[in-house]
Amino acid sequence: MYLLYSALLTAAMVLAMPFWLWQMLRHGKYRTGFGERWGRVPRRILEQPVQPTIWVHAVSVGEVLAVNGLIEKLRLKFPGNRIVVSTTTDTGQKLARERFGEQNVFYFPLDFAFAIRPYLKVLKPKLVIMAETEFWPNLLRLAHASSAKIVVVNARISDRSWPGYRRFKSLLRGVLQHIDLFLTQTEEDKHRLLDIGAPESRVQVSGTLKFDAPEPTEPAILAELKMVLVMEGAGPVVVCGSTVEGEEVLLAPVFAKLFKQYPQAVVLLAPRHPERFDSVAALLEQQHLRFVRRSQWSGSGVTGLILLLDTIGELSALYALADVAFVGGSLVPRGGHNILEPARYGAAIVVGEHTENFRDIVELFCRQDALLTTNPNDLEKDLLGLVADEPRRIALGQRAAEVLQTQNGATERTLAAISELLH
């Protein structure tokens, strides 16, 4: 089976190569860490002292934030161990290096035996932790063969991936046997894992690590903006975070109406993907909306304009400024993004109807009347209505913060289960 899988993976890589090359040339994607992805262990990893190692894989920014608290507790629980972190995306890599040190972070190798073996040979991990749902057959097989324990934490089976997993569950069953422990976000995720072949004795519900994510480090711009907002008497502040293609064009008319009704309003707009910063700036210009790019902001004059966040890693903390927070990837069918970041600050949260990637979190907030769901047709009415209704807006944000506080503890449960496995 693994030979067939590797052959299919090779064919897929060959077919995808033109796209990869285009992304490398056009946007610079995949260029950084290219050698690491193909099995070249970076010098910064090789130069560290030999220690028992725990390898944590977190795909992107969301997963890095989710495992941040767990990694800190693992360091305290197992002080004689080195913890290394791999990521897939450039944004995840940048954040992981900031959080865990450049000497402990590298790009996740492609799932070919020749790319994985050098890392296993150098690291000799006693434990491999995969965040959320990362079922890479060759990595799991080779790590298991090297006597490493394998744990999937914060495990979930999204609505989008669920049909595909079921279709290939006869093949997945063998792959899942290599995993020693699955710690799922919800009972529903547990049932789905059991259905596709995970051994029942190895599956536990531990909760969602993202509820326990520590507060983000405050970027310098946060204090600057707070001061400028007060000095200029600016407001209300609307933060639109993690927007994806097709959403800014829906939001632009709403922004125009907002500024017409509230000349002192401020919008913080943060596209999800860095390669889209230029195209979003062009769209705002075409719509004749006043904006300034964060990278060019002089430190004053924010009223009545859009601050386009063309930087990485600042959005999470800037939700603290929001009167209303729209969380993107949800007006169009992209599955949505993390609503816990604005909830932490008691912002009134608005999402679209496409929130499959965070279905259980969104359902929990909906049951507590702690967020507002909208659609492209009602976006203007709902968003501007919330801006205008201060008591409702404040109550919505307070309920969101309360829901977040009631869900703590997943990190401790995850740590306890891992400790029991290792002992």
SS3 string of the chain? CHHHHHHHHHHHHHHHHHHHHHHHHHHCCCCCCHHHHCCCCCHHHHCCCCCCEEEEECCCHHHHHHHHHHHHHHHHHCCCCEEEEEECCHHHHHHHHHHHCHHHEEECCCCCHHHHHHHHHHHCEEEEEEECCCCCHHHHHHHHHCCCEEEEEEECCCCCCHHHHHHCHHHHHHHHCCCCEEEECCHHHHHHHHHCCCCHHHEEECCCHHHHCCCCCCCHHHHHHHHHHHHHCCCCEEEEEEECCCCHHHHHHHHHHHHHHCCCCEEEEEECCHHHHHHHHHHHHHCCCCEEEHHHCCCCCCCCEEEECCCCCCHHHHHHHCCEEEECCCCCCCCCCCCHHHHHCCCEEEECCCCHHHHHHHHHHHHCCCCEECCCCCHHHHHHHHHHCHHHHHHHHHHHHHHHHHCCCHHHHHHHHHHHHHC
Q: How far apart are CA 193 and CA 309, in angstroms?
A: 38
Which of 36, 47, 63, 353 is catalytic? The answer is 63
Phi first, then psi: give them for residue 324, nearest 5 degrees: -130, 135
| Exposure string for 123-153, b = 16+ CB within 10 A, e = fewer | bebbbbbbbbbbbbbbbbbbbbebebbbbbb
Is 63 a known active-site residue? yes
Token digits for 213? 């994510």
**β-strand pairing of 266-271 with 181-184:** unpaired
Give catalytic residues, as residue numbers.
63
